[in-house]
A and B are shown apart, each in its own frame.
Chain A
Amino acid sequence: MPINLYIFLALALFSIGVIGVLTRRNAIIIFMCIELMLNAVNLLLVAFSKMHLADSSNKAMQVVTNGADAQLFVFFIMVVAAAEVTVGLAIIVMMYRNIHSVDVNFLNRLKN
């Protein structure tokens, strides 16, 4: 499969994430959109990793990395995202307890 398709898919996912973050007011959906962006990046990382492995003429290099270096990054990102989710969801829970809503536009007490 050509790399272009992967790139287009990742781009689409990322854009959906950005637009979601910008337009939605529900904190949970914003959160999901952030995850979407992270996963778009993950997809790109995995795709490029595979591509470089295939293109590489250095056999020794293939043996050493086996295309796993970028995938390691992906795991890191997933772990960090998981940690982030726990914190983020906790914040959202607190937010709901305080203002009985998850609409981020109500969070404007530090205005001006």
Chain B
Amino acid sequence: MNNIIDYVWLVPLFPLVGFLLNGLLRNHVSKSLSGIIGSGAILASFVVSILIFLQVKGGSTGVVTLFNFIEFGETVIPFAFQVDQLSSLFLLIITGIGFLIHLYSTAYMHDESDMHFARYFAYLNLFVFSMLLLVLGSNYVIMFIGWEGVGLCSYLLIGYWFKNIEYTAAAKKAFVMNRIGDAGFLLAVFYLINKLGTVNYIDVFSKVDALSGQDLTIITLLLFVGATGKSAQIPLYTWLPDAMAGPTPVSALIHAATMVTAGIYMIARSNILYTLSPVTQTVVAVVGIATALLAASIALKQNDIKKVLAYSTVSQLGYMFLALGVGAYTGAVFHVMTHAFFKALLFLGAGSVIHGMHHEQDIRNMGGLKKYMPITHITFLIGCLAIAGIIPFSGFFSKDEILAGAFAKNPLYYVLGAIGALMTAFYMFRLYAMTFQGKFRGTHEQEHHLHESPAAMTIPLVVLAIFSFGGGLVGIPEVLMHGGHALNEFLAPVFAESTRRMTPHAIDHSTELILMFGLMAVILILIVLAWRKYSGYQKSDAEETGLGKVLQNKWYVDELYDAVITRPVNGFGKGLEKLDRFGIDWIVNGVGRSVQYASRQLRLLQSGQVGSYVLLMVLGMILLFVLQVFLKK
């Protein structure tokens, strides 16, 4: 094996095998075995991913074609994997964090029965497999297969506890919302085939000058519609908070390693198309910043530990889209990476808390948990510091890079982004203080049973905490350390074409330093405020009023969608159902009923009296005779 890149198909193969084993043998494997199969498959992928990453880091990239997937006319769509800097980095994130989440799940899901345990791991493996396919595909069609796959798996996993109607409704919501986005993606692929006759990244990007500005705008906007569905942006973001219905490790997987980063990856992959269509870039940036602010404001008033984190993810994804919109592609990918670390950490930490509290998710009933769960507490605090953007935690570097890019493009983006960052710090430390500080507010029974989670859950937390702390050091900005941005250099070949065509907006170093540390000072003040305000939180029955109530009800967006879209569609459907039942069914059933009625009458002729049959026969013969005589001319 001199060239590991040729064996890249091993990476998605392992999770696929794990899925098949666990899925087909789910009635026969024990919990420990299905856990080993599930986690082992991802671990194997992770090892191969590391080898590939090292090879790519050494400078070799390549496209591995397995077979021709679709051929029609001049167009050939190969089933091929593209290994380059971008995909190898995503491979590491997906398989690495995926493995930690699998490991964590073996402990978290231990109360499930054998069969459902195996089903869970089968879904998880399929999820990772789809995401790997999405990232590795060398053209938009292969990406679309993975794109659909993660949609399906999110549906299966959100509705994992399918006996709960609310959960299945949340799963359906996720699926339908994703489908809306997928339609946009699919249209973009058709448009590409129509205009260029190819969907291979390499060909598309080299022929990009053949596309008119209008075509580019249409394609990029349609692709962006797909991204809004998958990556939960306005207007299709409402599924992500509802996706909290799934088990907590699934939320971690969806939010950190897979699924929601798909949109970011897709736009980062298509960066040249976006660079060349400034209209779309503006749309992406505006949608991103709007989502970031909206979701952050909602997160300020949520009381469910997972809901806060969910809105935080939506908000952070908004930042990534802002970065893509202003052309800071490296910043977006960097934030995907650091976000994967600290969001996985936060979700798994939340899962640990929920596990310890016996499925209590309301932070109003928590408090003072630092005494009972020391490891969860420390790691969660690290996650909060990382997401808030305190130097030297990883979130600081990626967020700063995005905000610097935004400032260079338009200072207004920067101001709005900074407001979002402040809100992020505030709600995260509100969450932290209400959960871990102060006095315990739950029932005595809960307090009695409080315990630290087992090692299979705390080890992933510690590993992720280390990465959340140090993960940002691969991207130290130029002002702080010359040549410190290793990630930028690593990813440079992927974004080379875009960089060449973009007019650089450099901001001078003193401005950058002032912005960086000025913002961090305000963030620190807010953290202290939130800490002090919510450490002594007491339960009160007073209802929120004014803006607080609007925020608690998530700006009533769900209600708005319900009134504007869901209900009219449902009403239309009901109308059609009535038409079907009383119109078409009546006609069809009427034919049947009239035949039945006629035959019931006809049946009376069969009296059982032989005499009457004979009489009828004779009468018939006479009739025929008469007819024959009189009708014959």
* A contact set with B: CB distance below 8 Å: 18, 21-23, 25, 104-105, 107-112
Q: What sequence of 0s and 1s flags, for each residue 603-633 of chain B, a beta carbon within 8 Å of any chain A beta carbon? A: 1101111110011001000000000000000
Q: What residues of chain A lie closer than 8 Å to B608, measured between beta carbons? A: 107-112
- Say whether A110 contacts B606, CB under 8 Å: yes
Closest chain B residue to A18, Cβ basis: B618
- Say whether B618 contacts A105, CB under 8 Å: no
* B contact set with A: CB distance below 8 Å: 603-604, 606-611, 614-615, 618
Q: What residues of chain B lie closer than 8 Å to A18, measured between beta carbons? A: 618
- Say whether B614 contacts A112, CB under 8 Å: no
A111 to chain B minimum Cβ distance, whole angstroms, is 3
A95 to chain B minimum Cβ distance, whole angstroms, is 11
CA A9 to CA B611, docked complex, whole Å:
25
CA A57 to CA B400, docked complex, whole Å:
131
CA A39 to CA B603, docked complex, whole Å:
36
- Say whether B604 contacts A104, CB under 8 Å: no
Q: What residues of chain B lie closer than 8 Å to A109, measured between beta carbons? A: 608
* Chain B binding surface, main DSSP class: helix
- Say whether A105 contacts B606, CB under 8 Å: no
Q: What residues of chain A lie closer than 8 Å to B603, measured between beta carbons? A: 112
A28 to chain B minimum Cβ distance, whole angstroms, is 14
Q: What residues of chain A lie closer than 8 Å to B609, measured between beta carbons? A: 105, 108
CA A22 to CA B609, docked complex, whole Å:
11
Q: What residues of chain B lie closer than 8 Å to A104, measured between beta carbons? A: 610-611
Given contacts A18-B618, A22-B618, contact A112 B611 (CB under 8 A): no
Q: What residues of chain A lie closer than 8 Å to B604, measured between beta carbons? A: 112
Q: What residues of chain A lie closer than 8 Å to B618, measured between beta carbons? A: 18, 21-22
- Say whether A105 contacts B607, CB under 8 Å: no
Closest chain B residue to A21, Cβ basis: B614
Point out the residue from B606, B607, B615 that lies within 8 Å of A22, measured CB to CB: B615
Q: What residues of chain B lie closer than 8 Å to A21, measured between beta carbons? A: 614, 618
Closest chain A residue to B606, Cβ basis: A112
CA A108 to CA B609, docked complex, whole Å:
6
Q: List 16 A-B contacts (CB under 8 A).
A: A18-B618, A22-B611, A22-B618, A25-B611, A104-B610, A104-B611, A105-B609, A105-B611, A107-B608, A108-B607, A108-B608, A108-B609, A110-B606, A111-B606, A112-B606, A112-B608
B626 to chain A minimum Cβ distance, whole angstroms, is 16
